[in-house]
């Protein structure tokens, strides 16, 4: 009798664990009511297999002639001696459901907390309001707004104002970076002009385009720069 009970319990335990693993893998990620339904279903299945195996063992031990008495002999034993295994199964499966639900919630929470890299906002370029140039052994300040045009002259640049021109060492590209792009525009590889001092855009005698400044100075416009110059002047 001890052997019969042990074998019956062992088979029921292995069957319960196997089905628990299957259900956890297949329906755990679905709706919550399905988990409850799974608990009830697996309990009924295990109970049925347990009873079937116990009945088979009883038949092998007592013979077919005693099978009619199986229910009366074993029913009480099944409920009072073996019933705890089903309660343990329900507790085990319910515990697995809750454990994996918590793990899943923690995983989603961790994924939601991953910081999104924020691209640094570039600092606005600081434009020069004036330039210091050498004039007759002293430094003279030239306000950027007073500059009519900037001209590249080899290793120097010439800052043209309506009244004077001042030579300073440097490249025209460097000066361009220091000027406000809303106020100054490159019209030629060798020239930058102040939009606020442009009077007109005209066609020269050779067919090229010229920017006429308020002072009467005429500055050549490069072919590649012409579309941008027209757009700026239209605005």
What domains lie within the chain, and their CATH numbers? 2-112 (no CATH), 130-234 (2.40.50.1020)
| Cβ count within 10 A of residue 142 | 17
141 - beta bridge partners? 132
pLDDT at residue 134, rounded to an integer = 86
Report the range of poorest mean pLDDT among 6-15, 176-185, 186-195: 6-15
Tell the residue number behind the tokens 């990620």, with chain if given: 29
Q: Residues 218-226: what's their mean pLDDT?
A: 94
- If pLDDT is split at 50, 70 and 90, which confidence band does 110 have? confident
Max mean pLDDT among 59-68, 88-97, 177-186 falls in 177-186
For 2, 21, 110, 158, 235, the CA distances from 7, given in Å and listed in that order, are 9, 21, 45, 104, 94
Assessment of whether the complete model's pTM goes beyond 0.75: no
Q: Taking all residues of the chain, what is their mean pLDDT, rounded to a whole number? A: 74
Q: Are 212 and 218 in contact (CB under 8 A)?
A: yes
Max mean pLDDT among 49-58, 94-103, 210-219 falls in 210-219
Coil, helix or strand at residue 158: strand
């Amino acid at each position: 009798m001890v052997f019969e009970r042990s074998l019956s319990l062992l088979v029921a335990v292995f069957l319960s664990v196997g089905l628990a693993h299957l259900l956890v893998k297949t329906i755990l990620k679905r709706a919550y009511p399905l988990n409850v339904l799974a608990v009830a279903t697996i309990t009924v299945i295990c109970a049925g297999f347990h009873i079937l195996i116990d009945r088979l063992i009883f038949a092998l031990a007592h013979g077919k002639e005693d099978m009619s008495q199986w229910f009366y002999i074993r029913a009480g034993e099944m409920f009072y001696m073996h019933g705890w295994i089903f309660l343990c199964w329900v507790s085990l499966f319910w515990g697995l459901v809750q454990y994996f639900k918590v793990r899943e919630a923690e995983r989603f929470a961790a994924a939601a907390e991953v910081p999104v890299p924020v691209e640094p906002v570039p600092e606005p370029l600081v434009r020069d309001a004036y330039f210091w140039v050498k004039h007759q052994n002293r430094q003279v300040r030239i306000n950027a707004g007073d500059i009519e045009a900037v001209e590249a002259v080899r290793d120097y640049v010439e800052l043209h104002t309506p009244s004077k021109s001042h030579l300073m060492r440097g490249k025209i590209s460097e000066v361009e970076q220091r000027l406000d792009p809303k106020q100054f525009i490159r019209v030629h590889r060798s020239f930058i002009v102040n939009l606020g001092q442009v009077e007109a855009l005209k066609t020269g005698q050779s067919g090229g385009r010229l920017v006429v400044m308020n002072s009467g100075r005429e500055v050549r416009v490069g072919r590649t720069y012409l579309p941008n110059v027209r757009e700026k002047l239209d605005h």
